[in-house]
Structure 1
Amino acid sequence: MLKIRRLAIDTHPENTAFLPRQGNGYSAEQFQALRKIRITGESAEILATLALVDEPALVEAGEIGLGEQAFRRLGLPEGAAVSIEQAPVPASLESVRRKIDGDTLDESEIAAIIRDVAGHRYSPMEIGAFLVACAGFMSTEETLAMTRAMAAVGNRLDWHAPLVVDKHCIGGIPGNRTSMIVVPIVAAHGLIIPKTSSRAITSPSGTADTMEVLANVDLREDELRAIVSREKAVLAWGGRVNLSPADDVLISVERPLRIDTFEQMVASILSKKLAAGSTHLVLDIPVGPTAKVRSQSEAVRLRKLFEHVADKLGLVIDIVLTDGSQPIGRGIGPVLEARDVMAVLRNDADAPEDLRDHALMLAGRVLDFDPALKGGRGFARALELLASGAALEAMERLIAAQGRQPAEFKPGAHIQEICAPRDGRVIAIDCHRIARIARLAGAPMDKGAGIDLVCKVGAEVRKGQALYRIHAQSATGLGFAHDLAREDAGYEIVR
């Protein structure tokens, strides 16, 4: 038996256990052979990847150290006694091998794989093998089976209402923070819209990262339910309520490998919506040369796949193909995006017009789900709620209910302007490049880091005129971002 020691080490998303190399009755070779171990305590067990420790101050003989993820998932107090043994090889790995060979898997095989992924029984290498095999070929029925399996593993919310709406964008467009405008508009109207979002993985900010500038987003399920009961809405991080946890594990491996197939995108998004209790969804698919979807034909194929899977799941879906040719709004990064959102909600004269218009269009599509509204009245109702200040009031109530941030976050004080190399007109902005520069500046981990756009497509510029400003919290972050921007600023300018 070993005693648990909690170690302040973030090993996301894996469970990692730490054992001293000497002093536990096993040789180092035996420990290395285990690699994946099962840790069992009173009424709890987890599987964890094993790491050996040579520093006695970290973990002593007779102890097992658990990283933050493993400690939280095991759920036992520090000092509790546990035993360890070699983890059994998941039987579902045989199905992964079949998929690698090009076979089509049935629903039970995919369900077993997803359960084992969510249970952290696979190594990143094994997950990567499964994802690459699926990227090679995945049938529509396999996509449907994966979506169902991912929604079935983990928590599933039920709002006991016939109409629970949501809005989602597939991503890839910097500054596209429309959810934080759509949600208060819809809540002010009276529809239930419990918006749970992921944190950014490869983008400069996600909805949860931006909302966190204004309010607490790390809400327990009971807190989330109480807020929705009072306010009809929430803008929270979905990780706390454990919705489709297999998706979070898969994404952590997909992103470094740059695997982002349409089939996995559909399974990821719709499983989360199903688990969140949504009945009606407006889905924004931006189409543009540097967006995730780059042609109209690709957009149509993706739309049809979403519609087919959503129909089989009983989810009403309205898909909107939108302009993804450039960033939306001016701010890119949590603080700068929150600034733009609040400017729109306050009806400020200098609020970004494209962000306002895009959010109003999407909010109108969501409100059109309301059977009490006459057909096509959704947009007019959304405009009315924004212009009257009702949406701003709903947002202020939501911020107060979730817990207003005690300190104000500000844009990073380290600033570098990126200027036009010649006179001319801006004809294109590379969304992917701009997002990379903002992330190198420190976004989203550094809330104030990011990019403030000065010029958009169509602008006439003079040589030396600022195209955008990089904000960073540190000189180092600014340096990394500036170096990338000097290689290629992400703007195409023609005379």
Structure 2
Amino acid sequence: MEVLAKVELSLEKMKKIVQSHRGMLSWGGTAKLAPVDDILISVERPLSMDSTGQLVASILSKKIAAGSTHLLIDIPIGASAKIHDKQEALQLRKLFEYIGDLFALHIEVVFTDGSQPIGNGIGPVLEARDVLQVLSNHIDAPADLREKSLRLAGRILEFDPDVRGGQGYATARDILESGRAFDKMQAIILAQGEQKKHENQPPLQYEVIAYTNGYIHTIDNLKIANIADLAGAPRDKCAGIDLSKKVGDHVNKGDTLFTIYACYKSELEFAKKLADEGNVYTINAKAPSNNAHYYI
């Protein structure tokens, strides 16, 4: 959102925008909803500390402080995701629900497919591009991002007792396809303050190509994130990775798997080195048996 609109807003401006548009996207640090959490994050992030208890506390503290009554939690599950299997996800769901009950916060937890990145872009400008393509019903919009967004939006709509179970998805799809979702996003961006336009891509790029023919079986989320980080994302808004192929796609030797974008030569070299070490994508001769996104 920082690519599209100003996100450091006063509490008074936040209230005004929400009252006018019924929603907004801003940086929570400005409102100082949970200042202790901000301190803990600043300590934990450089040390790569990420305990389950702190994860739950960090997510829920700001929501409770803001006065939320309903909350949808998305837990992606995958071998290279933060949560690796269903058993681990179930334990985390129980913890979320337990803490939510203590604060009279209605929490619904959904499990989604975390076996690969959702959308094509990793990095602020590239991710914002994907979001706007979905909202504007663009022909190039990532299908997986669109589908996941509709499913999550549908579940949120079903918090309304007047919306029957299963009806939320169709309602969300109608709102998206009619253009109302895009119009509302544009209105919120203008209300928050439109950001200056970023360049479509930084000047430096490197294409990572397939080493053989076959089908893509896995994408290592952690390595993709590390490569994007080395390339300068999210510090440099235009830096990151643009995925050309996803799990289940057929590739020929020499096809582009993903493109690295960077603003500085040194950062591009670091990212290239990690990408060229391999094992970011696994390619096999046979198509994967199951490539369906799952929701529980």
Normalising by structure 2, we get a TM-score of 0.94
Which residue number corresponds to residue 301 of structure 1?
91
Which residue number corresponds to residue 113 of structure 2?
323
Which residue number corresponds to residue 15 of structure 2?
225
CA contact (8 A) 2:125 2:198 kept: no
Normalising by structure 1, we get a TM-score of 0.56
Which residue number corresponds to residue 68 of structure 2?
278
- Candidates 268, 277, 287, aligned match of 1:478: 268
* Alpha-carbon displacement from aligned partner over 1:280-323 (angstroms, at most 9, x marks no partner): 00100000000110011101111111111101111001100111
The yes-or-no answer on 1:381 pairing with 2:168 is: no
- Candidates 207, 213, 231, aligned match of 1:423: 213
Q: 1:390 to 1:236 in 2, by over 3 A?
A: same
Report the Cα offset of residue 259 of structure 1. Answer: 2.2
Matches within 5 A, 1:188-267: 211-267=1-57
Which residue number corresponds to residue 153 of structure 2?
363
CA contact (8 A) 1:434 1:489 kept: no
* Alpha-carbon displacement from aligned partner over 1:113-157 (angstroms, at most 9, x marks no partner): xxxxxxxxxxxxxxxxxxxxxxxxxxxxxxxxxxxxxxxxxxxxx
Which residue number corresponds to residue 14 of structure 1?
none
Q: Which has the larger radius of gyration?
A: 1
Which residue number corresponds to residue 70 of structure 1?
none
CA contact (8 A) 1:426 1:461 kept: yes
Q: What is the distance in 1 between the residues matched to 2:108 and 2:255? A: 41
CA contact (8 A) 2:198 2:238 kept: no
Q: Which has the higher contact order (CA 8 A, sep 6+)?
A: 2
The amino acid that maps onto 1:492 is T
Matches within 5 A, 1:9-48: none
Alignment: residue pair count: 285
The amino acid that maps onto 1:287 is I
- The alignment partner of 2:89 has SS state of helix
Q: What is the distance in 2 between the residues matched to 1:339 and 1:430? A: 22
- The alignment partner of 1:236 has SS state of coil
Q: What is the distance in 2 between the residues matched to 1:269 and 1:408? A: 30
Q: What is the distance in 2 between the residues matched to 1:223 and 1:404? A: 15
Query: What's the Cα RMSD here?
Result: 1.1
* Alpha-carbon displacement from aligned partner over 1:42-98 (angstroms, at most 9, x marks no partner): xxxxxxxxxxxxxxxxxxxxxxxxxxxxxxxxxxxxxxxxxxxxxxxxxxxxxxxxx
CA contact (8 A) 2:78 2:113 kept: yes
Report the Cα offset of residue 367 of structure 1. Answer: 0.4
- Candidates 131, 134, 151, aligned match of 1:341: 131
- The alignment partner of 2:24 has SS state of strand
* Alpha-carbon displacement from aligned partner over 1:419-441 (angstroms, at most 9, x marks no partner): 11122211000000000000111
Which structure 1 residue ranges, 4+ long, deviate > 6 Å from structure 2?
A: none
Q: What is the distance in 1 between the residues matched to 2:257 and 2:198? A: 27
What percent of counterpart residues are identical?
53
Matches within 5 A, 1:133-152: none
* Gapped regions of structure 1 (runs ≥ 5): 1-210
- The alignment partner of 1:456 has SS state of coil
* Gapped regions of structure 2 (runs ≥ 5): 286-296
The amino acid that maps onto 1:440 is L
Which residue number corresponds to residue 231 of structure 2?
441
- The alignment partner of 2:33 has SS state of coil
Which residue number corresponds to residue 194 of structure 2?
404
Report the Cα offset of residue 264 of structure 1. Answer: 1.4
Q: What is the distance in 1 between the residues matched to 2:166 and 2:284? A: 41
The amino acid that maps onto 1:233 is G
Report the Cα offset of residue 489 of structure 1. Answer: 5.2
The yes-or-no answer on 1:467 pairing with 2:257 is: yes
* Alpha-carbon displacement from aligned partner over 1:308-360 (angstroms, at most 9, x marks no partner): 11011110011001110000000110000011100000001121000000000
Report the Cα offset of residue 255 of structure 1. Answer: 2.4
* Alpha-carbon displacement from aligned partner over 1:165-201 (angstroms, at most 9, x marks no partner): xxxxxxxxxxxxxxxxxxxxxxxxxxxxxxxxxxxxx
